[in-house]
Amino acid sequence: MGEAKNTHDVCHKPLKSCWIPQALILPIKDNGKTPILISFLNQKTIDTIEADGFVAEIIRTNRKKTVSIKVAEGKVSVVAPKTFPAKEISALVAKKQRWIKQKLAIQNNVLKVQPKQFIAGESFSYLGNNYRLKIESGPYPDLKFQQEQFIATVRNISANNAPAIKQMLIKWYQQQAETILRERTKSYSEVIGVTPSKITIKLFKVRWGSCSIRREIQYNWKIIMAPKHIIDYLVVHELCHIQHHNHSPLFWKTVAKYHPEYKECKVWLKNNASLLEI
Ligand SMILES: [Zn+2]
């Protein structure tokens, strides 16, 4: 049985899998039937209510059984039966405002991330901080990180240098990832008392790291864009899998011992994966 590879995601699907449900469905009367999400096709009139820090759109429908609150693309909408009093909608929205605000915060974070253009003045994340890109002309293409900025050297400054700069940046990130992840793994493996047989830094599509039953650890180099405590969480997470090849309570207890704020890191990774894209 030892041949099966034990791989696991620290973060599965960065943008789509959200730990908070996409829509809240609130039954008005509990008549034993499962509440259903009301279709927008039945909408009649549209109104809005102002809540603490956001505006919710009220969509009236002919359906009678449920009120649903939806947060999509940074907008809040409440679908309610025609006869349901506005006062009660306000009360429901107020009651659920914590959930709504969490959803809004996550969506705004995702929405504000624009695809990178690799132009002068644009910011790039490294160890959780943003640094600006400066573009200079010179005889040899190169990328340096100097005095808190990325400096890309290109031959022809007026040409489209985006693809070349992107490649140079990726190469630079990968080099940093090699150094930092190996160093952090060495430090933590001494503390935890485990020894990985192999460390590989590569590109994963939907995960941050993995640890096989043969103690081979793999990391996604993109983690190097995240803050240091998040990188440490990933390292501790994978190293603890050498002792526990699962996500059992005992595994998490071990993670907590070496990285007490692991829960916040887990949530951070789920919510901020879009910041670690290039
Ligand atoms: Zn794991």
Q: Tell me if 106 is assigned to some domain.
A: yes
- Verify that 166 and 260 share a domain, yes or no: yes
Among 185, 186, 187, CA closest to 219: 185
- Verify that 170 and 270 share a domain, yes or no: yes
Q: What whole-number distance in Å separates Cα of residue 1 and Cα of residue 40?
A: 51
Residues near 18 by Cβ (< 8 Å), separated by ≥ 6? 106, 270
Q: Residue 101 sits in which domain range?
A: 8-112
Q: Tell me if 253 is assigned to some domain.
A: yes
Q: Which of 79, 112, 145 corresponds to the end of one domain?
A: 112
Instruction: Give residue 101 CA to ligand 1 midpoint distance, Å.
Output: 29
Q: pLDDT (tens digit, 0 to 9) for every residue of the chain, 278 residues total? A: 333 333 344 533 332 222 223 344 444 443 433 333 333 333 344 578 887 778 888 888 887 778 889 888 778 889 989 888 888 888 889 889 889 988 888 877 766 677 899 999 999 999 999 999 999 999 999 999 999 999 999 999 999 999 999 999 999 999 999 999 999 999 999 999 999 999 999 998 888 999 999 999 999 999 999 999 999 999 999 999 999 999 999 999 999 999 999 999 998 888 888 889 88
Q: Tell me if 260 is assigned to some domain.
A: yes
Q: Which of 44, 78, 112 corresponds to the end of one domain?
A: 112
- Verify that 76 and 184 share a domain, yes or no: no
- Verify that 73 and 173 share a domain, yes or no: no
Instruction: Give residue 20 CA to ligand 1 midpoint distance, Å.
Output: 21
pLDDT reported for residue 143: 97
Tell me if the pTM is above 0.85. no
Q: Tell me if 3 is assigned to some domain.
A: no
- Verify that 108 and 128 share a domain, yes or no: no
Residue 229 exposure: Cα atoms within 13 Å on the Cβ side = 11
- Verify that 150 and 264 share a domain, yes or no: yes
Q: Tell me if 131 is assigned to some domain.
A: yes
pLDDT reported for residue 72: 81
- Verify that 241 and 211 share a domain, yes or no: yes
- Verify that 233 and 104 share a domain, yes or no: no
Q: Tell me if 2 is assigned to some domain.
A: no
pLDDT reported for residue 110: 66
Instruction: Give residue 181 CA to ligand 1 midpoint distance, Å.
Output: 17
pLDDT reported for residue 111: 64
The answer to whether the beta carbons of residues 76 and 69 sit under 8 Å apart is: yes
Instruction: Give residue 237 CA to ligand 1 midpoint distance, Å.
Output: 6
pLDDT reported for residue 65: 79
pLDDT reported for residue 271: 80
Count of domains for the chain: 2
Q: Which of 112, 142, 166 corresponds to the end of one domain?
A: 112
- Verify that 140 and 246 share a domain, yes or no: yes
Instruction: Give residue 238 CA to ligand 1 midpoint distance, Å.
Output: 6
- Verify that 216 and 173 share a domain, yes or no: yes
Q: What whole-number distance in Å separates Cα of residue 10 and Cα of residue 113?
A: 22
pLDDT reported for residue 46: 58
